[in-house]
Structure 1
Amino acid sequence: MTRRFAGPADLLTAVGTELGVSPWRPVTQSLIDGFAALNGDRQWIHVDPQRAATGPFGAPIAHGYLLLALVTPMLDEIFTVEGGAPALNKGVDRLRFRGPVTAGARIRARAVLSSAVTVPGGYVDVTVAVTVEREGERVPAYTMDSLMLFRRDVVASR
């Protein structure tokens, strides 16, 4: 279930809490192939199932940047900030790829609101600690801090 905040100011009182966990999401070979076509990284470890079966992971693995791109829809499944305030992506800190995600595996994101502070210009500066878990594995796929800005005084138009 998606956690809903009425507006950016509500994030200020939720620091230190777990925002939630996204549903499991499959990482299919067709998703990996599509990403390879977009970014041009067609290494055999990603796109050649027969050769990858004899490689170090026993199957093709997802590109790290494909897995990173999936964090946005997973965070959208975890929490939303209403009131017409779009999240402005500032970037990521402390990104660490920890374990490979093989084709056919499932991942999900777990998010904790690490910090939320009001900054000049009417914004709330937010850091969300994200762990992307691999189903059935102890070590996550990756960990990172997602950095976002929300405009405090934006009101939804109806």
Structure 2
Amino acid sequence: MSRTFTSLDDVRAAIGEEIGPGPSLVIDQDRINQFADATGDHQWIHVDVEKATAGPFGAPIAHGYLTLSLIPFLGSSLLNLDFGAAKINYGANKVRFPSPVPVGSSLSATVTVTDVAESPAGAVLTLKYVVTAEGAAKPACVAETLVLVAG
């Protein structure tokens, strides 16, 4: 399910509406290893397959920040802001990782617009993303992100 918004009024009208889930993405060991290389976080629970399989999660797990970093990708299939000159990642208010993401997990997301605020730079949209691993009892990531729509 995807939504295209053509105005700020369209976004305001959707406050509180959950959109999604969108298509899923499988997290493989290669993606985890590449993220470890990019960030310098080579903790064994992520990259040492043998040790991680014998560890507390029974398999290597994705970095929490890897899961968070996938929100732009997962979110691109959920909503499209077809107005404004630029859409800028303005930050996050709150991020939590309630459940680990074992290698091989299939992630999908939902998004809910929770607020629209005016600022001198443009409109700031607050979007609550819930990223879930298929079959998990709890979400993998819950993040309240901010998008600045300028112009």
Q: Percent identity?
A: 36
> Offset at 1:76?
1.0
TM-score normalized with structure 1 length: 0.89
Q: Is the 8 A contact 1:12 1:117 kept in 2?
A: no
Mapped to 1, the partners of 2:74 and 2:86 lie a distance apart of: 16
The answer to which of 83-92 and 94-103 deviates more is 83-92
The answer to which of 4-13 and 51-60 deviates more is 4-13
2:98 pairs with 1:98: yes
Mapped to 1, the partners of 2:88 and 2:131 lie a distance apart of: 21
Name the counterpart of 1:2: 2
> Offset at 1:73?
0.8
Structure 1's unaligned 5+ residue stretches are none
> Offset at 1:6?
1.2
Mapped to 1, the partners of 2:130 and 2:118 lie a distance apart of: 25
Q: Is the 8 A contact 2:84 2:149 kept in 1?
A: no
Structure with bigger gyration radius: 1
Name the counterpart of 1:132: 131
Q: Is the 8 A contact 2:112 2:127 kept in 1?
A: yes
Equivalenced residue count is 151
| 1:80-106 per-position Cα deviation (integer Å, ceiling 9, x unaligned) | 111353321111112111110011111
Mapped to 1, the partners of 2:105 and 2:5 lie a distance apart of: 31
Indicate the SS of the match to 2:77: helix
Q: Is the 8 A contact 1:8 1:85 kept in 2?
A: no
| 1:28-62 per-position Cα deviation (integer Å, ceiling 9, x unaligned) | 10100111111111111111111111000000000
The answer to which of 104-113 and 15-24 deviates more is 15-24
Q: Is the 8 A contact 1:3 1:20 kept in 2?
A: no
User: Pairwise CA RMSD of aligned residues?
Assistant: 1.4
TM-score normalized with structure 2 length: 0.93
Q: Is the 8 A contact 2:91 2:145 kept in 1?
A: yes
Q: Is the 8 A contact 1:8 1:150 kept in 2?
A: no
Mapped to 2, the partners of 1:94 and 1:73 lie a distance apart of: 19
The answer to which of 9-18 and 142-151 deviates more is 9-18
